[in-house]
Amino acid sequence: ENQKIQVALDGPASAGKSTVAKLVAKKFGYIYCDTGAMYRAVTLKAIQSQIELTDESAVVAMLKQTQISFQPGDPVQHVFIDGNEITEAIRQPKITNSVSTIASLGGVRAELVNRQRDIAKQSSIVMDGRDIGTAVLPNAPVKIFLIASVSERAERRYKENMGKGIETPLEQLKKEIEIRDHKDSTRKVSPLTKASDAIEVDTTSMSVEQVVDEITKIINEKIK
């Protein structure tokens, strides 16, 4: 079979998308594309270049001159802008809390969506983000919408931060997640929303392994 399989994985912040997407991609031998990393990369470069994050034409002009690339890695995929590694830099809280502003710019989305579709042409793929099933790959045969309660997602982020030596109070993380969810769900262009044909998986009380198993079942069901 030469047919390329596309798995669109969307959902709110810290629902477990990238963790699960990577494992599922590995299991099936598909490539993995973290579209959030692309929005984060644009945010980082705009801040470094002292471009106003709401100045759409300036940000888009900068983006057109910017190469964003990935290199597979375990456990994390490496991310580069113009050949410079930014894997860790794009996870800083400052970027996390500014990225929704960049993601609300229609011109930025148009450019990144084009690049994401080009990546998806290469191979079977698991792509995670906010608008993959609704806008980037609307014909993907497998669409999954991962959710989890805000408290659970804040706990996950808290543990993840602890591992990196970052100490942000749980209550603050909860607020930040709520703010980002709100911005992502209410923006005009391609807001975060479940595609009508996506399967929702509530991961609140599930382990990573359980979520991977559930998604594996869904994919096998679709490709048999």
Q: Where along the sequence are the contacts to ligand CDP (CB under 6 A)?
A: 11, 13-19, 35-36, 39-40, 96, 99-100, 103, 129-131, 156, 160, 180, 184, 203, 206-208, 211
- Smallest gap, in angstroms, from Cβ of residue 106 to ligand CDP? 11
Q: Which amino acid is at 197?
A: D
Residue 137 or 219: which CB sits closer to ligand CDP?
Answer: 137
Given a contact cutoff of 8 angstroms between Cβ atoms, the answer to whether 26 and 219 are in contact is no
Task: Decide: helix, strand or coil at residue 109.
Answer: helix
Length of the chain: 224
Between 66 and 223, CB nearer to ligand CDP = 66
The nearest distance, CB 210 to ligand CDP, in angstroms, is 7
Q: Measured from the CB atom, is 134 or 219 closer to ligand CDP?
A: 134
Question: What is the closest distance, in whole angstroms, from the C-beta atom of residue 180 to ligand CDP in the complex?
Answer: 5
Pick between residue 30 and residue 36 the one whose CB is nearest to ligand CDP.
36
Tokens 């579709």 identify what position? 117
The phi and psi torsions of 143 (rounded to 5 degrees) equal -130, 125
Q: Which is nearer to ligand CDP, 183 or 222 (CB)?
A: 183
Least CB distance from residue 155 to ligand CDP, whole Å?
8
Pick between residue 2 and residue 205 the one whose CB is nearest to ligand CDP: 205
CA distance 65 to 215: 37
Q: How far is the CB of 42 from ligand CDP (least distance, A)?
A: 9
Nearest residue to 80 via CA among 124, 44, 119, 118: 44
Three-state SS annotation for 52-86: CCCCHHHHHHHHHCCCEEEECCCCCCEEEECCEEC
Rounded CA gap, 34 and 129, in Å? 7
What are residue 69's DSSP bridge partners? 80
Q: How far is the CB of 39 from ligand CDP (least distance, A)?
A: 4
